Amino acid sequence: MRRSALDKYICELEGLPALSREALEALQLRRLNELLSREKARGGFYRGLPAGVGSLAELSALPFTTAEELSANAPGLLLTSQAEVERIISGVTSGTTGPAKRVFYTRRDLEHTVGFFAAGISEFTSPGDSVLIAMPFSGPDGLGELICRAVASLGANPVRAGVGRSLGELAGLTRRFSPAAYIGMSVPLLGLLRYMGRSSLSRALVSGDACPEGVCAGIERLLGTRLFPHYGSREMCLGGAVTCAAHSGMHIRENHILVEIVDKNGRVLPDGERGELVITTLDMEAMPLIRYRTGDVARIVPGPCACGCVCRRLERVSRAEDVMERLDSALFRLPGLVDYRASLGPDGALLLDAVGSVRAGQLEEACAALGFAARAKVRPVSAGFRGSYPGKRSLTEAAAAQPV
Ligand SMILES: [Zn+2]
């Protein structure tokens, strides 16, 4: 098997002749200690932590950082001057109240992300390919533009689709530019493939939302190739872990991000066990985080990868609240379903507003098999359909429910 591009990227960036577990962990320990001493020197948010540790194992004795602390302390968490900050991402996760989480990046932080993206994308993209990018475009250093720069650095052609386009518009872009690959969320891709039928698309990287098993299986059947899932979040400067040619989990960019999996009491779990994903962003210049609890659930795939890369692998990352993911996984196994919106009715039944050629009874039966009472209505798909959700998929509460 071809050597993973991530391995090559890390060796080049860090000046290492070869990537071994020992070399990677020595780098992580050095970075962790540099970070702890930077915090002390600058009187940062983490100034109360020890100025250094003797081993990576000692990380588990340090306190966690929560999403609430991140929301309340963004300026205190910043380790550079405001002038060095290239981009601020802020936002409130749906369903929560209180101050928005703000995350800052420097030019160097963003360039690291572009390099990591390019390594991941090169696993399925060749020079001259066109790549349809169905991710948000929100300014010069937004996610969409960072992906474009990574694609262009490989000699491939980015096609800026963005999010919120209709199926007809996306099909038009696909006919016009004949993209070989797609980068975007999984459910919109499955809906597009089902709407278009045959197309030039044959490979895809899915990210930005959960990757339910039934959805991925449906996409892989239509593309005729295995998917390249990616996991990232704003807290890790958007790029975190990406799939190699072995398709056996997502390799973490461990030169920049240290990952732990913990149980609900905060105890570190061994590789192979599922628990909450905790990240330490070792080499972020603007806003490094120490032991940040992501609220996402994942496991580390134990043992070495067939591709030879020694970076550890994350398997299927889920949100802690995964009802929508379970529904998506089951319902999208029905081949006629293009998309649907789910809400919880006042009587506790699920209300499904679906698009496609599936029958309402089939959707209701699939929900019943998961233990949910449901009432569904189905509309035929049209060229003007723009998707049931503008971003991440979630079950809405009764107040927002549309009568069925
Ligand atoms: Zn691998």
pLDDT in tens, the chain (404 residues): 667 899 999 999 999 999 999 999 999 999 999 999 999 998 989 999 999 999 999 999 999 999 999 999 888 899 988 888 888 887 655 444 556 788 999 999 999 999 999 999 999 999 999 999 999 998 889 999 999 999 999 999 999 999 999 999 999 999 999 999 999 999 999 999 999 999 999 999 999 888 899 999 999 999 999 999 999 999 999 999 999 999 999 999 999 999 999 999 999 999 999 999 999 999 999 999 999 999 999 999 999 999 999 999 999 898 877 899 999 999 999 999 999 999 999 999 999 999 999 999 999 999 999 999 999 999 999 999 999 998 889 987 654 444 44
* Cα angle for residues 213, 214, 218 (degrees, 5° grid): 115
| Tokens (6 digits) for 15 | 């000046």
Compute, in angstroms, the gap from residue 251 CA to the centroid of ligand 1.
Answer: 7
Compute, in angstroms, the gap from residue 243 CA to the centroid of ligand 1.
Answer: 7
Compute, in angstroms, the gap from residue 309 CA to the centroid of ligand 1.
Answer: 5
Compute, in angstroms, the gap from residue 305 CA to the centroid of ligand 1.
Answer: 5
Q: Give the span between the Cα atoms of 263 and 232, in whole angstroms.
A: 21
Compute, in angstroms, the gap from residue 134 CA to the centroid of ligand 1.
Answer: 25
Parallel, antiparallel or unpaired: strands 130-134 and 157-160? parallel
Contact 112, 237 (CB under 8 A): yes
Q: Where do the structural domains in the chain lie, given as residue ranges?
A: 5-111+232-319, 323-400
DSSP collapsed to 3 states, 90-131: EECCCCCCCCCEEEEEEHHHHHHHHHHHHHHHCCCCCCCCEE
Q: Give the span between the Cα atoms of 250 and 316, in whole angstroms.
A: 8
Q: What's the Cα-to-Cα distance from 268 to each of 263, 278, 281, rounded to whole Å?
A: 7, 9, 17
Compute, in angstroms, the gap from residue 63 CA to the centroid of ligand 1.
Answer: 31
Compute, in angstroms, the gap from residue 260 CA to the centroid of ligand 1.
Answer: 19
Of 230, 229, 233, nearest to 219 (Cα)? 229
Tokens 């996402």, residue? 296
CA 126 from centroid of its chain's CA atoms: 23
Q: Give the span between the Cα atoms of 296 and 6, in whole angstroms.
A: 23
| Range 323-400: architecture per CATH | 2-Layer Sandwich (3.30)
Quickly list DSSP for 199-227: -S--EEEE-SS---HHHHHHHHHHHSS--
pTM of the model: 0.94
Backbone angles phi, psi at 251, to 5 degrees: -70, 130
CATH class of 5-111+232-319: alpha beta
Compute, in angstroms, the gap from residue 131 CA to the centroid of ligand 1.
Answer: 23
